[in-house]
Structure 1
Amino acid sequence: MPPADREASLEALLRGIPYLADLDRVSLARLIGALEELSLPAGSLIAEEGAAADALYLLEEGSVRVTVRSDRGEVEVADVTAPGYFGDLGLLLARRTGSIRAVTDVRLWRMPRERFEALVRERPQIALSLTRTMAELLDRRQRSLVGAPIVETERPPAAVPALGVARRTSLRLTASLAVPATLWWLPAPAGLETAGWHVVAILIGAAVAWFLEPAPDFVIALAMAAAWGITGTAPLAAVMSGFASSSWLLALGALALAGAMIRSGLLFRTALLALRRFPATHNGQLLALLIGGAFVTPVVPLSVARVAAVAPLSVEIARSLGYPPRSRGSAALSFAGLAGYWYFSNIFLTGFATNFFVLGLLPPADQQRFGWLGWLAAAATAGIVCLGGASAALMWLFPPEGRAHVSSLILRRQRRALGPLSSAEWIALASLGILVAGLVLQPVIGVEPAWFALVALVIVTATILGREQFRSSLDWGFLIFFGILLGSSAVLQRNGVDAWVAGRLLSLASLVGSPQLMVLLIGMLTIAIRFVLPSRPTMILLALALVPAANALGMSPWVVGFVILACANVWILPYQGLEYLIMRDATHGEAFDDAQGTRFGAALVAVRLLAIAASIPVWTAMGLVGSR
């Protein structure tokens, strides 16, 4: 057989194995490189029953026979003729379950077990496919033994790339590049130097890319940083300064701590504990999810993880109350879990990683003032209004179909299964105490909270997460995105963009006339932009533009940053809310429908604006609005 034909035959042999059929070409090429070729004469013993199982075999030419020992001697089990494969169980078991002998001269390819295991570590879905194949084989054998008809299992269709996806991505990428390329050659606006205009042009191009999404957001951020560096508009130290900031290190430590709390089970235990403290009625459990989530929020700065953890609990409560899928009662409980574990993310400094971004934009004196307690004190009024408004919206929009009580049996079983606090949970709890103590005591002891975050990071990584979990538990894409955008603040300041924006906003503020009204306008502007941009780019871009100019608007930079964070972290239409989509997927679409979600999302937007309006008099009394 010509070499080219043999290579094609070998690839076909590998593709003929069900759990390797969809292997990507790179993994396939690496696997081919690990195969060992064998040529054996008829009668050769290839594998012996009871021997160590160490390989899978691909049969290119010839045929083999599989036998097992019995009281009557050797019993034939199966014949395999080329092209085919055998020895699957050798990938799962320690010993061979049968003997395999060549019936004719054979040409084989041997796949070592250790190479297959390495592939499974890289692509865990192969293990699931292998298990499915083994189960189908066992089912066939059992049916054959009793003479039952063979049931053909329908395999899920292989994923086929959507037509035109590559073309649409190319068009989006072209548009994202065309915008800054066009703006680059336009004259700089009055009051802004050419270098500053070039920085703005690249930033606008990134904003277009975040809207069109030709690539993940962190890739776009990296491209923006590279463009600033290559064009000479900013030095490397300025562009990458965000990764050396206290805010980035706080986010790193907080996200690692969140991963440790999830992995140890501490987050799930905390959610169960909150449910136990409230009456076993519909309204009692609704408030348990809302208020319990508000208490959990400051200790787990990852809203996605909080929502994913509470989703199954809310469904179990709805079932125990006897609510049918997508009923008002079911929707109310799931939305209570969603609101409780997400809606208060910006009320607490440690409730949302992006809060640290705004903290990093504040002047040093304000960073000292708005530590953990200072942030909470300034945001408390908004938090109280959000809690009351969310509760009222749930009870008004989704009154339950009847009166019911929750069976405590499910919660009791879950608590029993969890048992007492494990050592991992105690370690996560102690690490959390270290981080919170650093944030709370920072104004007193004068030590950067980032150092406490690093101590917590070291503890949970050394004891709970380990190397592999450290890689998989943290959202590294977000951390890259976060670090680049923190550094972009220095780039804008270096090129005078912040002063130019402040000048433009000062003119606008003089037209509006009232700093209090300007606060509401910033909130409404943020909500409007959310129909176009995802939440993170909206928060980052508006904060970069407006927080440094806050004093010119007659208000504290913290107020501007908080309003942007709070009003960007909402949804009306389903596609706008990442946490909403996670709750919907985690409940398999059975808890509520998108029409219910849209009504509740719109209500939360109205509550958010009401919370901002209610906070304005408090902020004015605190000297944060109108006295700058």
Structure 2
Amino acid sequence: MRTDDQERSERLRTVDLLSQLDRVALARLAGYMVPLAFAAGEVICSEGDPADGLYIVVRGTLGVYATAAGGERRVNAIGPGHYVGELALLVDQPRSATIRADTEGEILRLDRDQFLQLLGQDPAAAKAVATTLARRLRRRDMESPTDELEAASAPRQVVAGRIARPPAAKVVGLVLALAFGIIAFSPLIDLAQQRFVLLLLAAVALWVTEPVPNVVVSLGLVAVWIVSKLTYDFATLTGFASMNWVFVISVLGIAAMVSRSGLLLRMGLLLIERVPPRVGWQSAAFLVSGIALTPILPLAMARAAVSAPLALGVAEALKLRDRSPASAVLGLSAWIGSGPFIFLFLNGSPVCLLAWSLMPIPAQVQFTWTQWFIAAAPLAVIIGVGSFIALRLLHRGEPIAPVSRDPLRLQRAVLGRPSRRELALMGIVLLTLVGWILAPHYLIHPGLIALIAFIAVMTLYGRSNLASLDWDYLVFYGVALTIANLAQGLSLDRIVGQGAVPILAQLGIGGPAFVLLAGVLTIVVRSLLAADQAILLLSLALIPVAPAVGVNPWLAVIPILALGLSWHIPAQSPEYLVAYGASQGRLFSHAQGRRMAFVYDAIALGGLAVCLPYWHLLGLL
């Protein structure tokens, strides 16, 4: 016998408005639908009421009545599987008719704001729904201009990205880049090392102020290297010919397919349903689940885009007020779990792989996936526990209402059982993780494991998803690897190391103090640069110095990564802005987020200090 949720699920699949949505997108949408029972003769909405949602009929029949000169007249009837109020999803206008129940039954109500918020995160779903809506409305009302309908159907984007730079900052960046470029090619500069550094500073000025897209800066830097004969032409593209670049493109390709599958949504539903409905438990669950997702979905932005709406759903289920202390705890727990813990895993983020690839070859061989995790685990535990306690202090015992499980059951019914592709994808991901653990024993590069897994995923789904990858970042990553190769070829690592040792000795900075100094410098530099550029420059500067002060290069990398996603300056933290935007800004304010950012920085620096004896036992100091 069918359950109510199975019946609702079947009705949703027959609605032409939603027919172009895949199973996962439809399940996400179902989480925002509220079932409402009605009796015969009951008025669902009246003509002139604010049009704030869509009604889908599950059972029963509704009559549509419009006011005419002679009074009210019946103009239509709506049965199961049909819907009314689609215009409310497009424009904010009063209801044009009264909807009254002919029989008893049930409808699913979809709020307009939540509908647009969801589709704003899924452009493909937005296009499919908008096309169906526009086609239906054009058929119904040929007097409406086509371009007006199309414009109204475009949902607003709610996931925030990088904040645009003011024009003055862009001008300053161009002036600085031009100045560095002129000096680099002036008669005053006769060493290739000096010219290389000046050109890199010019690129940094443009990366920071963004007068042109970052991909233009990256490719422009390659062009300048070639034109200036700084090195051989082929050497300017060595980063793109490395297994490390293949590693990153394969990991991002797998992550893109995982994010589109139903695996993450199933995990989120399980989290909400099985964890006790208390803020403390939910906070811990979001922290732990975000960390657990890191090696599976190694993109902080993607994890934040997934976890923030789930946290918002929990807050709504718990009837928490927007930006209340309890809501802030949930939102910041979701962000911290999905973002800053990239340092725990070698493949936690592309920037982790970037920093690893900048380490000397012996250090890369030493720090396999397993060794990296073992060395970083105590720091992760300290930061995780410290963040949980700090967040609990933020929560002051706000009363919690009982949780409704209805939306969860409907979402599970729409998703159905895991498909064979989902199970196969899960198997590929797990085998990939096992491969990374075992690869060092067989002298296999982890990039080869990732490449094989990526090929398997594309074969499984019968298509390439290369077009969905962030090629701007991949170009930057390839150029960053080339920068590291050129720096080593020009012996800049040796020059920097030899020059820094006397200065550090005069300041009395040895191995342990150097690790803490790396953390402090990361906080300062992150106030000026985005994570990618900050981690690249700090790694280039500090990794060569580490061996000279008796520190393993990994200990120069781990403070940079542990504090690399610090969000005390929101404009420099696009990953944090994604978490903020994906929760519609309803879970926490920037003031609450910034306060927790400074607490996180303090906890991370304290964790680095506490872990020094452990790293000494591992022979890293």
Shorter-chain TM band: 0.7 to 0.9
**2:240 counterpart of 1:265:** no
Deviation at 1:529, TM superposition (A): 0.9
In the alignment, residue 318 of structure 1 is paired with which amino acid? A
**2:589 counterpart of 1:593:** yes
For the structure 1 residues 519 and 445, does the alpha-carbon distance in structure 2 shift closer, same or farther, using more than 3 Å as the test?
A: same
Deviation at 1:403, TM superposition (A): 3.6
Given the alignment, which residue of 459, 470, 474 partners 1:475?
A: 470
In the alignment, residue 482 of structure 1 is paired with which amino acid? Y
Distance 1:447 1:545 in 2: 29
Deviation at 1:413, TM superposition (A): 3.1
For the structure 1 residues 593 and 454, does the alpha-carbon distance in structure 2 shift closer, same or farther, using more than 3 Å as the test?
A: same
Aligned position for 1:396: 393
What whole-Å deviation, never above 9, does each CA across 1:262-315 have from its counterpart, x for those lacking one? 112212222333444432222111111111111111211111111111121111
Given the alignment, which residue of 250, 264, 267 partners 1:253?
A: 250
TM-score scaled to structure 2, two decimals? 0.73
**2:315 counterpart of 1:318:** yes
Given the alignment, which residue of 518, 521, 530 partners 1:522?
A: 518
For the structure 1 residues 364 and 164, does the alpha-carbon distance in structure 2 shift closer, same or farther, using more than 3 Å as the test?
A: closer
Distance 1:216 1:608 in 2: 33
CA contact (8 A) 1:570 1:601 kept: yes
**2:463 counterpart of 1:462:** no
Aligned position for 1:508: 503
CA contact (8 A) 1:229 1:236 kept: yes
For the structure 1 residues 186 and 423, does the alpha-carbon distance in structure 2 shift closer, same or farther, using more than 3 Å as the test?
A: farther
In the alignment, residue 181 of structure 2 is paired with which amino acid? P
Deviation at 1:450, TM superposition (A): 1.3
For the structure 1 residues 550 and 405, does the alpha-carbon distance in structure 2 shift closer, same or farther, using more than 3 Å as the test?
A: farther
CA contact (8 A) 1:294 1:344 kept: yes
Aligned position for 1:308: 305
Aligned position for 2:194: 197
In the alignment, residue 314 of structure 2 is paired with which amino acid? I
**2:408 counterpart of 1:411:** yes
Aligned position for 1:96: none
CA contact (8 A) 1:264 1:464 kept: no
Distance 2:197 2:530 in 1: 20
User: Does 1 or 2 have the higher relative contact order (CA < 8 Å, sep 6+)?
Assistant: 2
Aligned position for 1:379: 376
Distance 1:565 1:236 in 2: 32
Aligned position for 1:228: 225
Deviation at 1:505, TM superposition (A): 1.5
**2:183 counterpart of 1:182:** yes
Distance 1:619 1:538 in 2: 25
Deviation at 1:435, TM superposition (A): 2.0
Distance 1:292 1:126 in 2: 31
CA contact (8 A) 2:340 2:563 kept: no
**2:559 counterpart of 1:558:** no
Deviation at 1:338, TM superposition (A): 0.9
In the alignment, residue 619 of structure 1 is paired with which amino acid? W
What whole-Å deviation, never above 9, does each CA across 1:162-202 have from its counterpart, x for those lacking one? x99889756643432222322543746xxxx7111001110
Farther off after superposition, 194-203 or 458-467:
458-467
In the alignment, residue 619 of structure 2 is paired with which amino acid? G
Farther off after superposition, 214-223 or 398-407:
398-407
In the alignment, residue 455 of structure 2 is paired with which amino acid? V
Counterparts of 1:286-301 in structure 2, within 5 Å, are: 286-301=283-298
TM-score scaled to structure 1, two decimals? 0.72
2:321 alignment partner, SS class:
coil
For the structure 1 residues 405 and 613, does the alpha-carbon distance in structure 2 shift closer, same or farther, using more than 3 Å as the test?
A: farther
For the structure 1 residues 466 and 615, does the alpha-carbon distance in structure 2 shift closer, same or farther, using more than 3 Å as the test?
A: same
Distance 1:153 1:323 in 2: 36
Distance 2:125 2:277 in 1: 41
Aligned position for 1:87: none
CA contact (8 A) 1:257 1:428 kept: no
For the structure 1 residues 341 and 154, does the alpha-carbon distance in structure 2 shift closer, same or farther, using more than 3 Å as the test?
A: closer
Aligned position for 1:579: 575
CA contact (8 A) 2:519 2:563 kept: yes
Deviation at 1:125, TM superposition (A): 8.5
For the structure 1 residues 342 and 126, does the alpha-carbon distance in structure 2 shift closer, same or farther, using more than 3 Å as the test?
A: closer
2:342 alignment partner, SS class:
coil
Farther off after superposition, 171-180 or 516-525:
171-180
Given the alignment, which residue of 339, 360, 365 partners 2:357?
A: 360
In the alignment, residue 333 of structure 1 is paired with which amino acid? L
Please list every run of 5 or more consecutive structure 1 residues that lacks an aligned counterpart in the other structure. 1-121, 144-151
Distance 1:275 1:340 in 2: 16
In the alignment, residue 541 of structure 1 is paired with which amino acid? L
CA contact (8 A) 1:271 1:293 kept: no
CA contact (8 A) 1:314 1:337 kept: yes
Aligned position for 1:63: none
Distance 1:515 1:601 in 2: 27
Deviation at 1:528, TM superposition (A): 0.4
Given the alignment, which residue of 490, 494, 497 partners 1:495?
A: 490
Deviation at 1:155, TM superposition (A): 6.6
CA contact (8 A) 2:346 2:373 kept: yes
CA contact (8 A) 1:218 1:480 kept: yes
For the structure 1 residues 404 and 132, does the alpha-carbon distance in structure 2 shift closer, same or farther, using more than 3 Å as the test?
A: closer
In the alignment, residue 180 of structure 1 is paired with which amino acid? G
**2:542 counterpart of 1:541:** no
Distance 1:133 1:358 in 2: 48
CA contact (8 A) 2:165 2:209 kept: no
CA RMSD of aligned residues (A): 3.0
Counterparts of 1:94-133 in structure 2, within 5 Å, are: none
For the structure 1 residues 614 and 246, does the alpha-carbon distance in structure 2 shift closer, same or farther, using more than 3 Å as the test?
A: farther
**2:343 counterpart of 1:342:** no
Distance 1:223 1:400 in 2: 55
Distance 2:499 2:316 in 1: 55
In the alignment, residue 317 of structure 2 is paired with which amino acid? S
CA contact (8 A) 1:261 1:428 kept: yes
Distance 2:170 2:570 in 1: 23
For the structure 1 residues 306 and 510, does the alpha-carbon distance in structure 2 shift closer, same or farther, using more than 3 Å as the test?
A: same
For the structure 1 residues 131 and 205, does the alpha-carbon distance in structure 2 shift closer, same or farther, using more than 3 Å as the test?
A: same
Distance 1:344 1:228 in 2: 36
Give 1 or 2 for the bigger CA radius of gyration: 1
CA contact (8 A) 1:381 1:614 kept: no
In the alignment, residue 259 of structure 2 is paired with which amino acid? I
In the alignment, residue 294 of structure 1 is paired with which amino acid? I
Among all aligned residue pairs of Structure 1 and Structure 2, give the percentage whose two residues are the same amino acid: 31
CA contact (8 A) 2:239 2:480 kept: yes
CA contact (8 A) 1:385 1:611 kept: yes
In the alignment, residue 328 of structure 1 is paired with which amino acid? P
Distance 1:289 1:442 in 2: 31
CA contact (8 A) 1:172 1:212 kept: yes
What whole-Å deviation, never above 9, does each CA across 1:545-583 have from its counterpart, x for those lacking one? 221332012211111012112222211122122121111
1:349 alignment partner, SS class:
coil
Distance 1:465 1:213 in 2: 38
In the alignment, residue 494 of structure 2 is paired with which amino acid? A
Deviation at 1:509, TM superposition (A): 2.3
CA contact (8 A) 2:247 2:447 kept: yes
Aligned residue-pair number: 487
For the structure 1 residues 616 and 187, does the alpha-carbon distance in structure 2 shift closer, same or farther, using more than 3 Å as the test?
A: farther
Distance 2:335 2:399 in 1: 22
Aligned position for 1:39: none
For the structure 1 residues 126 and 328, does the alpha-carbon distance in structure 2 shift closer, same or farther, using more than 3 Å as the test?
A: closer
Please list every run of 5 or more consecutive structure 2 residues that lacks an aligned counterpart in the other structure. 1-122, 157-163
2:344 alignment partner, SS class:
coil
Deviation at 1:154, TM superposition (A): 12
Distance 1:327 1:457 in 2: 42
Distance 1:164 1:504 in 2: 35
For the structure 1 residues 607 and 139, does the alpha-carbon distance in structure 2 shift closer, same or farther, using more than 3 Å as the test?
A: farther
In the alignment, residue 419 of structure 1 is paired with which amino acid? G
Distance 1:399 1:247 in 2: 47
